[in-house]
Amino acid sequence: MNVYDSQRMTDALAADGYVATDAIGEADLVLLNTCHIREKAAEKVYSELGRIREMKAERAHAGREMLIGVAGCVAQAEGAEIIRRSPAVDLVIGPQTYHRLPDVLARARGGEKIVETDYAIEDKFEHLPQPKRAEIIRRGVTAFLTVQEGCDKFCTFCVVPYTRGSEVSRPVAQIVAEAERLAQAGVREVTLLGQNVNAWHGEGENGEEWGLGRLLFRLAEIPGLARLRYTTSHPRDMDDELIAAHRDLPALMPYLHLPVQSGSDRILKAMNRRHTAKDYLTLLDRIRAARSDIALSGDFIVGFPGETDADFEATMDLVRQVNYASAFSFKYSPRPGTPGAEMADHVPEAVKDARLQRLQARVLDGFR
């Protein structure tokens, strides 16, 4: 999703005469596309800004301007605080306002420090840039296509509802038109994106309410599109039609990323996941019954506040039962403004480290 957002910024800037460069020292504009999910990722922004500040000073001595911008979810969450901590930053822009980049840059070049993070929810999909056919071709046969943004689940560990806003689904007509344009330019594989992509819903071409499964059936009809994928999903939004799409659509790749976070019902409740470990495992049984060769991946958080040895062992047992093809596992990281950060019984870092190593070893054992 961050790669897709970077492409959106590139497309928005192309009209202003900017072209991308792999050499940061040559850049007239440096944009950091940031993530706020974990503390380490957010803090890396400031260390990177320190390095770029020195480059900006060197360029200034040589009489060459370099603008520095911070984009993405750290920008959305921290806003003016970024400029306060790093005065070399010229602009801060949130993920819903990238279409305003040319105007923001014009003001920044005039010496104004800008924070551009306010947006209207209903405008989320009204200003997506449309890359030229040549640019689509240059990017190759795979492409990302956003269909949904935001999240209403409010897991107690997560900042996404606060940085990306509530769940909003992109209209069917926009999605189909973009997919057709991508296919006509030679794209053969499309990945549908959303913070909670399988919560997507909208009025279909037949006037009925569609879910993600029905949308996938429609996209599979587009000439030239040979492969379809989607990410990231929530277990509570896997309905019968989406499972049927995995069974009936050859174009839908036999892969599903379905985060669970913990195998302990007590911790799942504290996380506000609103499903149990049994609910999750039963759902996987239904999915595998529909598509026996499907590869599953998941997300895990170890060391959530109050997690005991028994809670962690329940997670280890779930991993053993599922036999994931891949997994993304992390130590719990308190995020400001989330309920989890205010909870008691935070787990010591040394315990988190040990549990993470054991979990990752268990996942690797499943690969052998």
Distance CA 149, CA 160 (A): 10
Q: Is the pLDDT of residue 190 over 90?
A: yes
CA distances from 38 to 18, 43, 81 (A): 31, 9, 18
Specify the pLDDT at position 275.
98
Name the average pLDDT for the chain. 92
CA distances from 66 to 48, 82, 91, 231, 276 (A): 15, 18, 12, 36, 51
Question: How remote is the C-alpha of 89 from its chain's centroid?
Answer: 24
Q: Is the pLDDT of residue 121 over 70?
A: no
Percent with pLDDT over 90 in the chain: 72
Range with lowest mean pLDDT among 105-109, 244-248, 268-272 = 105-109
Distance CA 130, CA 144 (A): 13
pLDDT tier, 143 (very low <50, low <70, confident <90, very high otherwise): very high
Q: Which residue has 């959530």 as its token pair? A: 304
Average pLDDT over residues 123-136: 73
Q: Which of 322, 271, 280, 274 is nearest to 297 (CA)?
A: 322
Contact 184, 215 (CB under 8 A): no
Angle between helices 277-290 and 309-322 (to 10 degrees): 10
Specify the pLDDT at position 367.
67
Q: How far apart are the first and last CA of the chain?
A: 30
Specify the pLDDT at position 36.
82
Q: What are phi and psi of 116, to 5 degrees?
A: -125, 90
Contact 31, 9 (CB under 8 A): yes
Hey, what are 147's tokens?
Answer: 């269909």
Average pLDDT over residues 242-249: 98
Over residues 1-20, the pLDDT tens digits come to: 888 889 889 888 887 889 98
Q: Is the pLDDT of residue 122 over 80?
A: no
Hey, what are 311's tokens?
Answer: 């809670």
Strand order in the sheet with 255-257: 255-257, 295-302, 326-331
Angle between helices 212-219 and 240-248 (to 10 degrees): 30
Longest dimension (CA), the chain: 65
Over residues 43-74, the pLDDT tens digits come to: 889 999 999 999 999 988 888 999 999 999 88
Specify the pLDDT at position 341.
94
pLDDT tier, 118 (very low <50, low <70, confident <90, very high otherwise): confident
pLDDT tier, 120 (very low <50, low <70, confident <90, very high otherwise): low
